[in-house]
Amino acid sequence: MHRARPSAAFAVGLALFCAALFAWSYIGFVVPFRAASGGRELLDARMAGYDASDVIGMLQYLRDHPDAAAIQRGLYLGPELILPAAVALLLIVLLRFVGVGGSVFGRPVPAIALAAIFFLPVLYVVVDYAEDIGVLMLFPPALPSDAMVSMLASVLPFLVRLKFAALAITVILLVRSLILRYLSGRGEQPR
C-alpha cells in the first residue's frame, strides 16, 4: 500500500502537467490561430481527423497568411515538443497503476498481449511526433517539392488516424481495467 502512494502522486502530477501543456496549446495557439485565420481549425485540433484535401487547403491558406503560419509553427516548436511524450508517459503510468491484465474468457491475459497494451502509448507518441515532423516539413516557412507535398498530404491523414486509434484503444483498456477492478471488489492497491 505504501508503494502505491508515490505512483498515485506521480500520476496526478503528470496529469496536471499534461493539462497545463494542453491549456498552453489551446489558449496559446489554437484560439489565436482560429482568430488569425477567420475561424479555421488547426489540422491537429480536428478530432474527427482530416484528409488530403484538407492538408492541401491548409497549405495553400498558410502560404498566403504568414501570421497564421507562424502561430501553427509555434505550436509544433512549443508545447507539441513535450505534450505527446508527457501523455504517453501518463498513459503508461496509469496502465501500470490500474494493473491491466487479469483474465479474458477465464484465462490469464498472455504476456505478449500485456506487452502490446503497454506498447500502445509508445505507438501513440511515435506517430504523433511523426505527424508533427511532417507538418513542419510541409507548411510554411518550409518549401517542400511537389512530390513531398503529395506524399505528406497522403501520409498525414493516415498518421492522425493511427495516433487517435492508439490513444483511444489505450483509454478503453484503462477504463475496462478500472471497471473490472471495481467489480472484482479487490481492496488491494496496484504495485
Residue 58 confidence (pLDDT): 97
Residue 191 has pLDDT above 80, yes or no: no
Q: Is the sign of the CA dihedral 71, 13, 16, 85 positive or negative?
A: positive
Q: What proportion of the chain, given as a percentage, has pLDDT over 90? A: 74
For residues 121 and 169, what is the distance between their CA atoms, to the nearest angstrom? 9
pTM of the model: 0.88
More confident residue, 140 or 1: 140
Query: Tens digit of pLDDT for each residue in 152-161?
Result: 999 999 999 9
**62 in Cβ contact with 140 (< 8 Å):** yes
Residue 190 confidence (pLDDT): 46
Residue 5 has pLDDT above 70, yes or no: no
Consecutive H or E run containing 142: none
Question: What are the sequence ranges of the domains in the chain?
Answer: 4-184
Query: Tens digit of pLDDT for each residue in 49-86?
Result: 899 999 999 999 999 999 999 999 999 999 999 999 99
- Which residue shows C-alpha cell 515532423? 133
Residue 39 confidence (pLDDT): 95
Query: Tens digit of pLDDT for each residue in 103-125?
Result: 666 778 788 988 999 999 999 99
